[in-house]
Chains A and B, each alone.
Chain A
Amino acid sequence: MSVIEELQSGALSAEENVARYFEAIEARDGEINAFIEVNSRAIEEARAVDEKIKQGRAGKLAGLAIAVKSNINVMGLRATCASKTLENYVAPYDATVIERIRREDGIIIGMTNMDEFACGSSGETSYFGPTQNPAAKGRIPGGSSSGSAAAIAANFADLALGSDTGGSIRNPASHCGVVGIKPTYGLVPRYGLIDLAMSLDQIGPLARDVYSAALLLEVIAGYNPKEATTLRVSRPDYTSKLSADLSGYTIGFAKEFEEYTSPEIIREVKHALAKLEAQGASVVEVELPNLSKALPTYYLTVFVEFFSATRRYDGRRYGYRIEEVCGEEVLRRILLGRYISQKEYSGKYYRRALQFRSLIKKEMLEALSGVDLIAGPTTPKLPHRIGESIDPLAMYAYDLLTVPANLAGIPAGVIKVGEVGEIPVGIQFHAKPLEEQKILNAMYALEGG
């Protein structure tokens, strides 16, 4: 019986569910470092949900414990972005996604660790120390939603929220062996998310199984009148349409993936493609000739947007002045963004990156025009050992296969398909805008329906 079924049947109370996660966090998070703060009111909130369950008026997430990345505002808890800059910033309001979770009676169990201001792909740049990978001891969990993925992998919560600007949900989902989804840009409200790069950021779910990920996604998705960039779409219903029958699905695989990815990862992805074929899908080749341009396009865009986003951290209304207290990677991006933003350089770098963004978007949408999904690896290499010295450009290279989805604004999802020397490997699915259901179905089929 799943936790959702146990909660619905009354076999498990919301209070018991939250209490057992608190016990697990207390016992093992000292080693993993997935959480920055736990919600001291969670038990009290769980009791109130139990009352609603008894009265038969509880919501879709009733009693589920949800961990939240520390760049999302949860009223009364610290949204530190894992930085000294916001070390004492207690969120004065709830992000829209949190309001929606509360409306469906989900319980926020705590705020998770992450790369500082989401600047990183390894989970090592946090002011609160690195997060360990519960699925591959001694290795990085991936980032920047490192704590959210680790919390799911370590069984510290039922569900987690992450944010994905260039792979920050999918990369740690792959390294930690869990399910992660980056929704279509504009599907999930960003109100209350602390920006890394506003034209690329999306909030999305992490979970241990596809059904739970679909459930959280359908709760948080949908138009928000407070925002100029949410799409006018009705609230989706993914869970009732989940299907492992892939008859009629055409899945594309690009040969360029093999050029940039370790052979052992490609081997696991190809095994998964064979499984999908056995479940009714047909696999064809697609072309992504400009895949290598995606990484410089992404970073030149992010430096500028991040620099702009950090101008509010001047230490006047809250926190400390960012340049005085931040870590190396954050400072590097601020320096680069400031330099590029100068009038004489914006055309040379930023506008050129936006032109390449058009190219990547066109290429991804053309490749998707003849197929339902594009499947491929999530990261080009396996996670390195924590503390290993990595050159900034080598660190950025982790994002090569995840940034195209953000640049094109399309949805993408990751699920574990195998292991290489006990290190999880995730397959990544891309779909056309707002076709999250197809991604969920393909992942559901791989999970075994």
Chain B
Amino acid sequence: MDESKVRREAERVLKELSEALGEISLEETYYVVEEINVTRNDAEPELNPEFRKAALKIAPHKDEEGYYIAEMGSWV
């Protein structure tokens, strides 16, 4: 893949879409659902014993005790 071509195209896409949009002054619409169910009744948590096994099965790197092994982030 030619990354510099993708980058150039991205810049052009942004410029053209932004110009096509123009300016407006209105309130923003974040989510269309007006009545967001922010709170819900507490219930007993459901535990699926298979989930942990299935999740670990697809982990790229893990140790014998069942922990993920991940490289330290370059920002640390």
Binding site for B on A (CB under 8 A): 75, 88-93, 185-186, 199, 225, 227-232, 292-293, 295-297, 299-300, 315-320, 327-328, 331-332, 335-336, 339-340, 348-349, 351-359, 361, 392-393, 396, 407-409
Contact = CB atoms under 8 A, between A and B. Distances in A.
B32 A186 contact: yes
B10 A352 contact: no
B35 interface: yes
Contacts of B30: 199, 354
Given A185-B33, A199-B31, A358-B29, A315 B18 contact: no
A89 B14 contact: no
B6 A328 contact: yes
A199 B10 CA distance: 23
Given A90-B58, A332-B10, A357 B29 contact: yes
A298 B43 CA distance: 37
A409 B33 CA distance: 8
A355 B22 contact: no
Interface of B: 1, 3, 6-7, 9-10, 13-14, 16-18, 20-33, 35-38, 40, 43, 48, 50-51, 54-55, 57-60, 68, 70
A229 B28 contact: no
Contacts of B1: 327-328, 331
B35 A335 contact: no
Contact of B18 (A88, A90, A300, A332): A300
Contacts of A75: 50, 54
Q: Which 8 A-B pairs have the closest CB atoms?
A: A409-B32, A92-B54, A354-B28, A316-B70, A296-B17, A296-B21, A357-B29, A186-B33
Given A90-B57, A93-B54, 20 more contacts: A75-B54, A92-B50, A92-B51, A93-B48, A199-B31, A225-B40, A228-B36, A229-B33, A293-B22, A295-B17, A300-B18, A300-B21, A331-B6, A339-B14, A348-B18, A351-B28, A352-B24, A355-B25, A392-B13, A393-B13
Q: Please indicate which of the listed interface residues A320, A359, A393, A396 has the most CB atoms of chain B within 10 Å of its own CB.
A: A393
Contact of B28 (A293, A320, A355): A355
B14 A336 contact: yes
A228 B27 contact: no
Nearest to B36: A228
23 contacts: A92-B51, A92-B54, A185-B31, A185-B32, A230-B33, A230-B37, A317-B55, A318-B59, A319-B60, A327-B1, A328-B6, A331-B3, A332-B10, A336-B13, A339-B14, A348-B18, A349-B18, A354-B29, A355-B24, A359-B24, A392-B9, A393-B13, A409-B32
Nearest to A224: B37
Given A349-B14, A361-B32, A295 B20 contact: yes
Nearest to B39: A228
Contact of B54 (A90, A300, A316, A353): A90
B21 A317 contact: no
A339 B12 CA distance: 13
A27 B50 CA distance: 35
A353 B21 contact: yes
A90 B56 CA distance: 11
Given A92-B51, A229-B33, A328-B6, A356 B21 contact: yes
B31 to A, nearest CB: 5
Contacts of A393: 13, 16-17
A359 B14 contact: no
Contacts of A327: 1
Nearest to A76: B54
A355 B27 contact: yes
A327 B2 CA distance: 10
Contacts of B20: 292-293, 295-296
A356 B51 contact: no
Contact of B35 (A231, A292, A354): A231
Contact of A332 (B9, B21, B51, B68): B9
A89 B54 CA distance: 10
A407 B29 CA distance: 9
Contact of A300 (B17, B24, B32): B17
A264 B31 CA distance: 36
B64 to A, nearest CB: 17
A297 B21 contact: yes
A76 B28 CA distance: 40
Contacts of A358: 26-29
Nearest to B69: A316
Nearest to B46: A226
